[in-house]
């Protein structure tokens, strides 16, 4: 079974631009979560989607948004990029349905550098 696939793996943007990151969960997984990892703030929860609906949201500004498609693939978008948005963005999928176990399968991440 293929793992969680995130694209692109690396990207460089400049301040003010926007970026879209993609995540394909493991086949059959319907829950997708996104986390931001930085040296200063560590791992922080962004949002979670299940059946195309946002189920949970972290404490990030409205510049951070996401969505999930009917095939469970998910995208997240960051608009008006700031230097502080430089981070590793991790996507994780969950094999369970409405009752989450917290046993997440993570992708290798998309490393965003904002110049």
Partner 1 sequence: AQSVAQPEDQVNVAEGNPLTVKCTYSVSGNPYLFWYVQYPNRGLQFLLKYITGDNLVKGSYGFEAEFNKSQTSFHLKKPSALVSDSALYFCAVRSAGGGNKLTFGTGTQLKVEL
- 109 near partner 1, rule: CB under 8 A: yes
E strand intervals along 1-115: 5-7, 10-13, 19-24, 31-38, 42-50, 53-57, 64-68, 74-78, 87-94, 105-106, 110-114
- Shortest reach from residue 78's CB to partner 1, in Å: 19
- Shortest reach from residue 30's CB to partner 1, in Å: 11
Q: Tell me which DSSP letter residue 99 carries.
A: S
Among 24, 94, 112, 114, binds partner 1 (CB under 8 A): 94
- Shortest reach from residue 33's CB to partner 1, in Å: 4
Q: How far is the C-alpha of 21 from the C-alpha of 8, rounded, in Å?
A: 7
Q: DSSP string spanning 71-93?
A: TS-EEEEE-S--GGG-EEEEEEE
For residues 31 to 60, the per-residue mask of contacts with partner 1, x marking binding by CB under 8 A and - elsewhere, is x-x-x------xxxx--x-x----xx-x--
Site for partner 1, rule CB under 8 A: 4, 31, 33, 35, 42-45, 48, 50, 55-56, 58, 90, 92, 94, 100-109
């Amino acid at each position: 079974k293929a793992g969680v696939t995130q694209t692109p793996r690396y990207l460089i943007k400049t301040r003010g631009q926007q970026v879209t990151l993609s995540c394909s969960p493991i086949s059959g997984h319907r829950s997708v979560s996104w986390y931001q990892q930085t040296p200063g703030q560590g791992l922080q929860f962004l949002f979670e989607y299940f059946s195309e609906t946002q189920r949970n949201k972290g404490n990030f500004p409205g510049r951070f948004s996401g969505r999930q498609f009917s095939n469970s693939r998910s995208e997240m978008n960051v608009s008006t990029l700031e230097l502080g948005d430089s981070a590793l963005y991790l996507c994780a999928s969950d094999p369970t349905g409405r009752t989450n176990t917290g046993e997440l399968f993570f992708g290798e991440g998309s490393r965003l550098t904002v110049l």
